[in-house]
Amino acid sequence: MSKRMMHLNLFIFGCGHHRAAWRHPRSSVERLGDIAYYEELAQTAERGKLDAIFFADGHSTDNLTDGPRWFLEPLTALSAISRATQRIGLISTVSSTFNTPFHAARMVASLDHISKGRVGWNVVTSMFDSEARNHGYDAMPGHDWRYARAEEFVDVALRLWDSWNDGAPQSDRQGDYVRPESTHAIHHKGTHFQVDGPLTVPRPPQGHPVLFQAGASEQGRDLAARRAEAIYAVAFDLQAAQEYYRDIKLRVRKAGRRDPVPIMPGLVTYVGSTEAEARAKQRALDELLPSQDALRQLSMYVGQDCSRWELDAPVPDLPPLEEFSGPKGRYATVLRIIQTERPSVRQLLGRLAAGGGHCTMVGTPDAIADEMERWLSNDGADGFNLMPPSLPDGIEDFVDQVVPVLQKRGVFRKEYETDTLRGHLGLARPGP
């Protein structure tokens, strides 16, 4: 019986996911506006035969003194990266709160054509009031409103992609460029959007670019189970991963779907020839993070001012999850770390410094591969969204040292077998 094959994405974020990565002597902080830097990262991931690269996105620039967050707009960057790569998938976050479905569908379809079918879109409802104020809102609209808008947003985008038949235009120099029956208006008039259509871009090569979501709230899980074709997750240990994985898979079945819907938790890795070497790499980054910067990051995660918390005291009591109005997935992870590990404030800051509470594996290539396989074979994950603590070193270590172990064990591909992101993920191409 053949082994299950895992999926791997590279989540590209600045100089790496550790908040102090930019301070490291080997960081690429001077190159964050240089598209060649991102092209090189994508080429490294492609050399490792990863499924895709992924960019998150944000619409505010809080606390820039702490280090870089956003730089290049991701869809723009991916257009360039698509020309520097051949097979790897290209995924961008798209906010359903701050975009219209026509504009988003047009940009994403264009990139799918440019890349010949390698695009995914990670639909988010966005999080922070500071983002909302950059788009004409006084504060972030309510959770229910945002998810209702997201559902309609996805519906309209899919209908716009289907407003062109496959094979249109014909490019018949002696006849019609597009036969009248090959396109149609959608005449959508809903609660949030009014869109006539058709789209100005022909149907994407993949039919629909792959829809990713990362919902952790009740509404987010429900929407992901009904709509998402692949899911990003937050889980700091296997038990938390299993709870989310089994819940989502059950919801997918209850929604009447047979799609595989791969689930990929975030994964931070420190790779060394020995465990001591790997832990030294982790410690070197942790020691570069000023405590006030770390406390400011924690304040963002828990929705309150932590700047006066005593570093060596226990973490103060936090409100239960149901009373928290911010991003619930990460907050739930913080609560779980506190509940299971009983850390001091200083210990919690170290735990969150890289990846914000996502699973962290520190060790040799074989030890990390062991743990990844354990998650794969025990309802914890279908793969991982790699979040290197530092770039480019973190992804080079993983591709050069961990990927060969996974390939030798038969749980990760040695060569690409398909040319599209749908193909890499084992997803069918939808008909119009």
Nearest to 391 by CA among 72, 131, 12: 12
Tokens of 15: 């100089």
Q: Do residues 59 and 203 share a domain?
A: yes
Average pLDDT across the chain, whole number: 93
The pLDDT value given to residue 378: 97
pLDDT surpasses 70 at 2:
no
d(CA 354, CA 350): 8
* pLDDT mean over 131-158: 91
Q: Is residue 279 part of a domain?
A: no
Nearest to 146 by CA among 84, 217, 203, 77: 217
Q: Do residues 252 and 295 share a domain?
A: no
Q: Do residues 345 and 420 share a domain?
A: no
User: In the chain, what percentage of residues exceed pLDDT 70?
Assistant: 99
* pLDDT mean over 231-244: 92
Contact 249, 279 (CB under 8 A): no
d(CA 188, CA 164): 16
Q: Do residues 160 and 307 share a domain?
A: no
pLDDT band for position 337 (50/70/90)?
confident
d(CA 52, CA 385): 9
The pLDDT value given to residue 86: 98
Contact 125, 95 (CB under 8 A): yes
* pLDDT mean over 289-298: 85
211 strand-pairing partners: 121
Tokens of 127: 């999080």
* pLDDT mean over 292-300: 86
Q: Do residues 175 and 319 share a domain?
A: no
- The most confident of the ranges 199-213, 216-230, 287-301 is 199-213
* pLDDT mean over 299-310: 92
* pLDDT mean over 264-276: 97
Q: Is residue 281 part of a domain?
A: no
Q: Do residues 55 and 181 share a domain?
A: yes
**Total number of domains constituting the chain:** 2
Among residues 352, 371, 396, the one where a domain terminates is 352
Q: Is residue 404 part of a domain?
A: yes
Q: Which residue has the higher pLDDT, 76 or 311?
A: 76
Question: Measured between alpha carbons, how far apart are the two ends of the chain, in Å?
Answer: 36
pLDDT surpasses 60 at 100:
yes
The pLDDT value given to residue 1: 42
Q: Which of 124-128, 215-219, 309-313 has the lowest mean pLDDT?
A: 215-219
Q: Is residue 38 part of a domain?
A: yes
Q: For residue range 220-229, what is the model confidence (pLDDT) as tens digits?
A: 898 889 999 9
d(CA 104, CA 75): 10
pLDDT surpasses 70 at 374:
yes
Q: Do residues 150 and 256 share a domain?
A: yes
pLDDT surpasses 90 at 358:
no
* pLDDT mean over 344-351: 84
d(CA 334, CA 330): 6
Residue 243 maps to which CATH number?
A: 3.20.20.30
Q: Is residue 96 part of a domain?
A: yes
* pLDDT mean over 212-235: 89
Q: Do residues 364 and 347 share a domain?
A: no
| Angstrom distances, CA of residue 425 to CA of 7, 40, 41, 266, 380 | 7, 23, 21, 17, 17
pLDDT surpasses 80 at 65:
no
318, 322, 323, 327: CA torsion to nearest 10: 80
How many CB atoms sit inside 10 A of residue 172's CB?
10
User: In the chain, what percentage of residues exceed pLDDT 90?
Assistant: 71
pLDDT surpasses 90 at 175:
no
* pLDDT mean over 293-308: 89
d(CA 420, CA 426): 10
